[in-house]
């Protein structure tokens, strides 16, 4: 069966010290999830377990992400995490630290049928 996207949520997360891309990504996912409370699934005959969720995370160093830790931020559905290049690193004035910004898109789909 084909998947049909029902929801797209966006979020941003920051790790202020330590260059922890996973921490920034987890905060971006949490930010996106806190902006939604959707109640139409039951009316459509769907449940939380039916959700197929793709989390796209954009950071400057996608290879530094712990994908399992990011997926664990999503409490429902079948979750996949797709890292992509993006985000933003802001070096400190002394150059010994950086602020790391991650962007998240959470795409929720259901099987059509």
pLDDT tens profile 29-48: 999 999 877 778 888 888 88
Q: Angle at Cα 77 formed by Cα 72 and Cα 80, nearest 5°?
A: 60
Q: Angle at Cα 23 formed by Cα 20 and Cα 26, nearest 5°?
A: 150
**Could you tell me how far CA 111 lies from the centroid of its own chain?**
21
CA distance 84 to 62: 6
Ramachandran region of residue 102, left (φ > 0), alpha (ψ -120 to 50) or beta?
A: beta
Structural tokens at position 73? 């931020």
**DSSP state, 78?**
E
| Per-residue pLDDT at 43 | 81
Q: Which domains does the chain have, with CATH numbers?
A: 3-111 (3.30.1330.20)
* pTM: predicted TM-score of the whole model, two decimal places: 0.91
Which range, of 62-66, 69-73, 75-79, 93-97, averages the lowest pLDDT? Answer: 93-97
Q: What are the angstrom distances between the C-alpha of 71 and each of 45, 51, 79?
A: 25, 14, 6
């Amino acid at each position: 069966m084909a998947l049909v996207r029902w929801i797209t949520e966006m979020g941003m997360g920051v790790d202020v010290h330590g260059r922890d891309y996973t921490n920034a990504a987890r905060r971006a996912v949490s930010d996106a999830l806190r902006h939604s409370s959707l109640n139409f699934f039951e009316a459509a005959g769907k449940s939380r377990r039916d959700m197929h969720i793709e989390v796209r995370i954009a950071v400057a160093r996608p290879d530094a992400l712990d994908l399992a830790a990011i997926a664990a931020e999503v409490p429902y559905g079948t979750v996949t995490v797709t890292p992509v290049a993006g985000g933003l690193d802001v070096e400190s004035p002394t150059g010994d630290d950086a602020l790391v910004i991650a962007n998240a898109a959470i795409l929720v789909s259901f099987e059509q049928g």
